[in-house]
Amino acid sequence: MRQTATRLADGRDLIYFDDATTAPRTAVDHRDLPVAAVRSHLRCDPLTGEWVTFAAHRMDRTFLPAADDCPLCPTRPGHGTEIPDSDYDVVVFENRFAALGSRDTDTTPVDDERLWPRRPAGGRCEVVAFTADHDARYADLPHERARTVVDALAARTAALSRSPGVQQVFCFENRGIEIGVTLQHPHGQIYAYPFVPPRTRTLIDRSRDHRIRTGRSLQRDVLDAETRAGTRIVWSGRYWSAYVPAAARWPVEVHLAPHRDVPDLAALGDDERDELVDAQRDLLTRLDRYFDPAADPSPVPYIAAWHQAPVGEGREFGRLFWQLFSLRRAPGKLKYLAGSESAMGAWIGDTVPERIAGRLREVARDGL
């Protein structure tokens, strides 16, 4: 894989990740763009201790453009895009409408009240374009291209983890307008948070408590227990296993975990990355077969999220895993987070995990 770093017309960074070692890319972004500026800040909720990001400038971000106007497609004569070259393999660039990365230095509490601390929304937001093909799916990428995506995410995880002030690197893909996708081109994102997000904080706290009580790793024990039970295992290889968690929240949910204790993508070896690509494409293909396409032919909406160890405090309690889930509960029907889930955080499952696992195994047998 070859990396070529350049800058866009407004000063944002862009990095080409090419499948093979090719000549460095030299295309120039000729668009007339104002200098990129992130105007956002953080406020702390005194009731929960959670930091909330406020990024009002994102109200004007690009929303579901026509394919001919897609900003993630390669540049063509007379139509410049976020990728200056006429073709590419994988590209990572700073998000033009980033929620994080503000250079604001104001730390004055809101209304000068100490109850409401305010701080700059540092960190960084990046976009990862998986392929130049606007109509592709990640599941259909050839092995080499999907491996380049994994290598790019690992490289950016390592680089961003070294950035001052970054406490958590989060890589993810959203697919489907039901999820809130604003660009249909196959892509993912990377958030380098200047704080540890609530979900990671909970995982770390639970893992720390488990270590104190038992002397063991919580996520390792969960993987071992799922393997012993076998009832929710849906994929297993030499280096990875995928299972529907025993307390799955979403109508379809799978966790893909490495057999070895590793903190993040950057720590994976070559063989682990190769098998990871096979597992991801297999599971994503099963997801698209999960519901009856005759009843609802639209692509299954999903979020694919990489949970990685935080950069600083608590890192020793983190363990890498990939969470794939969909909010579609039946053809033409979505799971909405109503009163109990949204207001109280008390989840109500629409099915049982064992049934989800059975269906995922079934569609693998039928389709392979």
Q: What is the rounded average pLDDT for all residues in the chain?
A: 94
Q: How far, in Å, CA of 46 to CA of 117, rounded?
A: 8
Q: Cβ distance 296 to 331 under 8 Å?
A: yes
Residue numbers annotated as active site: 187
- The Cα diameter of the chain in Å comes to 64
pTM: 0.95
4-20: per-residue pLDDT in tens? 999 999 999 999 999 88
**DSSP conformational letter for 94:** E
Residue 364: count other Cβ atoms within 10 Å of its Cβ: 16
User: Could you tell me the domains of the chain?
Assistant: 2-196 (3.30.428.10), 199-367 (3.30.428.10)
Beta strands in 8-161 (DSSP E): 13-18, 41-44, 51-54, 90-94, 118-120, 124-129
Structure confidence at residue 266 (pLDDT): 98
pLDDT digits (tens, 9 = 90+) for 243-270: 999 999 999 999 999 999 999 999 999 9
What confidence category does residue 367 fall into, taking pLDDT thresholds of 50, 70 and 90?
A: very low
State residue 180's pLDDT score: 86
Measured CA to CA, the distance from residue 83 to residue 74 in angstroms comes to 5
Q: Which pair of structure tokens corresponds to residue 275?
A: 């098998």
